[in-house]
Amino acid sequence: MPQVSKYKLDKDVEKRLFELFWRSLTRLGSTDETAEFFSDLLTSTEELMLAKRYTIAVLLTKGYPPKHIHDTLNVSYTTIGTVAGWLKNSKPATKKIIDRHLKDESWGHFFDKIEEVLGAVPPLTAYPHQKPAIYKQRYLDSRARSSRSVLR
């Protein structure tokens, strides 16, 4: 839970504070420089929380069901719902950034890894001679992931 002083800032001071903060963020160059900045600014828990929330937003945009997101990222359904609400009411710039990341090749590898985890076939224990339809579908999904990775 964030701790904010109960004493209000002057509106002009608050406006200037945000201007300086947002301008400093736009001047961050490389990924490493950005990571170092946020590592100094945030605790490791806050960093992980932000990364998970952003990943939830991307996965929801991609069409993953909440159950899969819950199982893969170990987040609560409440968090997923909160992010879904945030995503629904997000500004066009936010949607543009998420769409840009969906087209990025490195995200494609990330999604393949997520799909691999989600599609892991549990061991057959009761009746190994029977092959339910889900195993066939997971096999086909695995082949599709393999084909995509070869094409990259």
What ranges in the chain are assigned the alpha helix state H? 11-26, 31-41, 44-62, 66-73, 77-88, 92-103, 105-118, 133-151
d(CA 27, CA 5): 28
Read off the amino acid at residue 110: F
* Whether pTM exceeds 0.75: no
Tell me if residue 63 falls in helix, strand or coil: coil
CA dihedral 96, 60, 85, 94 (to 10 degrees): -10
Distance, in Å, from the CA atom of 59 to the CA atom of 62, rounded to the nearest integer, reads 5
Which pLDDT score is estimated for 151? 47
Q: Residue 4 corresponds to which tokens in the numbers above?
A: 């904010």
pLDDT in tens, the chain (152 residues): 466 778 888 889 989 998 998 888 888 888 888 888 888 888 888 888 988 998 899 889 888 888 888 888 889 999 999 999 999 998 998 888 888 887 776 666 766 676 666 665 554 444 555 555 656 666 677 666 665 554 45
Distances (CA, A) of 150 to 53, 140, 143, 144: 30, 15, 11, 10
pLDDT, tens digit, for every residue of 114-139? 666 666 555 444 455 555 565 666 66
Give the model's pLDDT for residue 30: 84
Phi-psi region for residue 63, left (φ > 0), alpha (ψ -120 to 50) or beta? Answer: left
Q: How much is the pLDDT for 70?
A: 87
